[in-house]
Amino acid sequence: MVATGDDFRKEDGWEGFASPWILWLPEWPGPCLSGTGGTCRMSTENASAARARRNRILVVDDEPLVTMLIAEALALEGHDVDTARDGQEALDKVSACAYDAILSDLRMPGLDGVGLYRGLDREHPDLLRRIAFVSGTTQPVEYASFLEETGVSVLRKPFAIDDLQQLVQRLLQEGR
């Protein structure tokens, strides 16, 4: 399947991954955190502004490409980003480091997003107002009732980067 100029296509050979889709993004025309050959560098002014507003965000997802996309988008906004592959790894990281916000998938092998939320409720309840889910799950009954019960925000995959950035800003403001 190909849409809008060969930039979104289903790839064969990715059996076992939750989503066998690859999103090909055009080259970013704006400021970069790093580049190749010294051609793409963040200006000193932009770098200073980014350092002044740095927040530490944990991204939890079992899909490496999704994790990379979210982490890169947030890093370009000046955030420090850490990643985890499942809820247990996220809980381990939260115990070792302070995070300003957490973005997590709902459905993951091992400890899923619900398990992560319940673990945070027991061990780090102050983070509950700073977690949101980024998920392609079509809300099976158990997730729908959990989301209704907790009121946690969900950003549906696929999503616009602007929507991701707005969600993170809201989490950061609510957490202060």
- In the chain, % of residues over pLDDT 90: 60
Closest CA to 97 of 109, 85, 113, 81: 81
* pLDDT (average), residues 131-142: 80
Residue 29 lies in a domain: no
Q: Which residues of 127-163 are buried (b: 16+ CB within 10 A; e: fewer)?
A: beebbbbbbebeeeeebeebbeeeebebbebebeeee
Residue 120 lies in a domain: yes
> What is the per-residue pLDDT across 49-97, written as a single tens digit (0 to 9) for each?
545 558 999 999 999 999 999 999 999 999 999 999 999 999 999 999 9
Q: Count the neighbouring beta carbons within 10 Å of the beta carbon of residue 117.
A: 21
Residue 165 lies in a domain: yes
Q: Are 24 and 9 spatial neighbours (Cβ–Cβ below 8 Å)?
A: yes
Structural domain of 175: 55-176
Which pLDDT score is estimated for 6?
A: 46
CATH at residue 139: 3.40.50.2300
Residue 171 lies in a domain: yes
Taking 50 as the threshold, does the pLDDT of residue 4 lie above it? Answer: no
Residue 155 lies in a domain: yes
> What is the per-residue pLDDT across 7-35, written as a single tens digit (0 to 9) for each?
555 555 555 555 555 555 555 445 444 44
Average pLDDT value over all residues in the chain: 80
Which pLDDT score is estimated for 121?
A: 98
Rounded distance, CA 48 to CA 111, Å?
38
Domain count, the chain: 1
Residue 28 lies in a domain: no
Residue 40 lies in a domain: no
Rounded distance, CA 65 to CA 148, Å?
29
